[in-house]
Amino acid sequence: MRYPQPGGPDERRHRFEELYAANCGPILGYVLRRTDNPDDAADVIAETFLTAWRRLDAVPAGDEARLWLYGVARRVLANYRRGERRRAVLADRLRAELAAGYRPPPHTGELAEFAAAFRSLAEADREVLALVGWEGLDRGQAAAVLGCSPNAVRIRLHRARRRLVDACDRHQANPPGEPVSVTKGESA
């Protein structure tokens, strides 16, 4: 029979479980009132209790533990907000750079018909065709991106190409009246 050693892994796990059970509710409420959605709150709670696990020897005993956890949650929230602000600034800057620097050329004739046919395909068909055609990936590389086998990519690619030919035939019967712009990932 094994007995937990003082300060051993079993005692440490037991102490953390007690800390979590006694404080999860209040800390969760604290975090939920300070975040915009439950997913963000879950991330902050996870990071808070991960910090508690890593620094378990620094967590005070008794009621002081909750106060310590509030402080950790407060700092995790501050880090989270700083990260959100950095991501928002970066996203705004990238959006502005892309808007200013990229204008897809208008296409007419056969290219416009092809673009319309491509956009009419299902997302999965467009993705496999784009990975192979635009990105220049071979079937094995596309399989790694899509999370499937190279044989599955071969089958998907064959079917997508067949659907693209059918869509091109349909769009030639009803050609668009005005030039269209084509962007990667644009849907019809």
Q: What's the total number of domains in the chain? A: 2
Determine the structural domain holding residue 127 and report its residue range: 106-181
Q: In terms of domains, do 90 and 19 share one?
A: yes
| Residue 16 belongs to domain with CATH number | 1.10.1740.10
- pLDDT reported for residue 171: 75
Q: In terms of domains, do 73 and 152 share one?
A: no
pLDDT mean for each 10 residues of the chain (188 residues): 55 95 95 93 96 96 93 96 93 87 72 85 93 91 92 96 91 56 47
Q: In terms of domains, do 117 and 144 share one?
A: yes
DSSP structure class, residue 122: -
Residue 22 covered by a domain? yes
Measured CA to CA in angstroms, residue 7 lies from 49, 57, 59, 64, 123 at distances of 19, 9, 14, 20, 55
